[in-house]
């Protein structure tokens, strides 16, 4: 069994506290990693381990996720807010320009960041995120309003989530912790509903607005990024390489960690 990642570090930016993991050689090229909705930065710990001989992976808990503070103010969970958090973080830790990797919602934040702050992003890696984040292309909002706030144990929390039609709650349990009154999730249901809704729509303009070298990774069994949209994204934006990982779904970094790390590493190794 792999060893657990080290404890998160913390930094105060834009009026809130952010948690992050900083893994790998401190003088190595930086890969800045952004998780998706419901996630946290430590999902990238296996990737950091696989690339530890040549890259430094810095993985942020985005606002309202993991151990970072929430975005409770009005408009606080918009793509723009996530982008400005990421920009402030890169500047505060003197990481820019950095290669930026984002999974799912984090992928959208990454390509918005590359468009809005091109000086901060040297290369773009998007893991299974669409630009057509709307019906009928995909189902952009997962309704979690009825999910349990607390359960007696981690296993009970898993069972309660899966009872709501989730085939495997493993991804969500990365954010499960023991509170004083039982096991619960680090994210707030209302926050996640607001954040998902704020990201719906056609995001094509942000995707095509940047020119950094880009890797678009798609899980062959993805329910988010269709083959047609992935093909369009690869051709509509210059300097973009599309790689499909067979046997993987939306959570491709967890479905086949070696293949995911190999694809990311090969792309980074080929950069100037």
pLDDT in tens, 55-110: 999 999 999 999 999 866 766 899 999 999 999 999 999 999 999 999 999 999 99
Torsional sign, CA 77, 78, 81, 87 = positive
Q: Which tokens in the block code for residue 209? A: 């607005």
Global pTM exceeds 0.85: yes
CB contact burial 126-146 (16+ within 10 A = b; e otherwise): bbbbbbbbbeebbebbeebee
- Give dist(CA 216, CA 32) in Å, integer: 16
Identify the pLDDT of residue 5: 77
Average pLDDT over residues 31-37: 98
Greatest Cα pair distance in the chain: 52
Neighbours of 223 (CB within 10 A): 11
**For the purposes of burial, counting CB atoms within 10 Å of the CB of 24, is it exposed (0-12), middle (13-18) or buried (19 or more)?**
buried
List the domains of the chain with CATH numbers: 9-135+201-269 (3.40.50.1820), 141-198 (no CATH)
Cβ proximity of 69 and 99 under 8 Å: no
* Contacts of 262 by beta carbon, 8 Å cutoff, 6+ apart: none
- Give dist(CA 14, CA 84) in Å, integer: 9
Give, as one character, the DSSP assignment of residue 120: G
Assign 83 to helix, strand or coil: helix
Q: Is the pLDDT of residue 16 over 90?
A: yes
C-alpha triplet 22, 39, 58: angle, nearest 5°: 15
- Give dist(CA 35, CA 135) in Å, integer: 23
Band of the pLDDT at 4, cuts 50, 70, 90? confident
Q: Which tokens in the block code for residue 159? A: 């069972």
Q: Give backbone dihedrals phi and psi of 97, rounded to 5 degrees, phi first.
A: -75, 145
- Give dist(CA 73, CA 155) in Å, integer: 33
Per the DSSP assignment, residues forming a β-bridge with 11 are 18
Neighbours of 94 (CB within 10 A): 7
Residue-level length of the chain: 272
Neighbours of 29 (CB within 10 A): 17
Band of the pLDDT at 1, cuts 50, 70, 90? low
Identify the pLDDT of residue 72: 65
């Amino acid at each position: 069994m792999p060893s657990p990642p080290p404890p998160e570090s913390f930094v105060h930016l834009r009026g809130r506290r952010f948690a992050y993991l900083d893994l790998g050689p401190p003088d190595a090229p930086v890969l800045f990693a952004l998780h998706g909705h419901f996630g946290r930065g430590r999902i990238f710990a296996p990737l950091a381990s696989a690339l530890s001989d040549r890259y430094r992976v810095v993985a942020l808990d985005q606002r309202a996720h993991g151990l970072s503070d929430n975005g409770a103010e009005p408009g606080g969970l918009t793509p723009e807010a996530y982008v400005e958090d990421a920009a402030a973080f890169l500047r505060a830790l003197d990481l820019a320009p950095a290669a930026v990797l984002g999974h799912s919602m984090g992928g959208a934040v990454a390509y918005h960041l590359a468009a809005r702050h091109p000086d901060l992003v040297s290369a773009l890696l998007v893991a299974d995120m669409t630009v057509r984040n709307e019906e009928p292309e995909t189902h952009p909002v997962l309704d979690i309003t009825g999910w349990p706030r607390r359960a007696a144990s981690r296993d009970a929390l898993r069972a309660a989530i899966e009872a709501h039609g989730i085939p495997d709650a493993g991804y969500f349990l990365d954010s499960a912790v023991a509170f004083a009154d039982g096991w619960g999730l680090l994210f707030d249901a209302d926050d996640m509903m607001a954040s998902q809704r704020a990201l719906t729509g056609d995001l094509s303009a942000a995707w095509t607005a940047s020119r950094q070298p880009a890797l678009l990774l798609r899980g062959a069994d993805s329910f988010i990024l269709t083959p047609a949209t992935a093909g369009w994204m690869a051709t509509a934006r210059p300097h973009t390489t599309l790689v499909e990982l067979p046997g993987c779904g939306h959570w491709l970094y967890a479905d086949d960690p070696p293949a995911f790390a190999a694809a990311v590493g090969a792309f980074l190794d080929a950069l100037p």
